[in-house]
Amino acid sequence: MEINWEQLKVAAVAAMKSAYAPYSHFPVGAAALVDDGRIVSGCNVENASYGVGLCAECGLVGNLAMTGGGKLVAFYCVDGNSNILMPCGRCRQLLFEHSAEGMLLQTISGVKTIEQVLPDAFGPRELEEGFGADQRG
């Protein structure tokens, strides 16, 4: 599947413009290509109780689930100035859960796979591989 990084950036910037960031003043937008060709996106949504704010990646994964599911193939995230952002560790784990193997992320140091930005990750693929009938015991 061909990845149009500019199209993903445009979708991430559009999502960022919908962010609700009255406390940090740090709007974030994210967009991803799904294995069926759809683009899903999300923005950060802050809360006066800071710990219950939602990252752009949370919105993106919610959008993925609401629009038919699938696996993420490519990902792009931007700040309020349209600069590339690297997802935090928590968000990398969230993305990994819904990624196709080898999902690509645009990062500040170039395109990397989800496995490169979250080495030795644990997720659904590991559960399928690691808990066969011989290990349930």
Secondary structure of 70-104 as H, E, C letters: CCEEEEEEECCCCCECCCCHHHHHHHHHCEEEEEE
67/47 Cα distance (integer angstroms): 25
List the helix and strand counts (H, then E) for the chain. 5, 5
Q: Which of 46, 57, 115, 126 is catalytic?
A: 57
- Selection from 94, 91, 93 nearest residue 121 by Cα: 93
Bridge partners (DSSP) listed for residue 113: 104
**101 classed as catalytic:** no
- The residues annotated with a catalytic role in the active site are 57
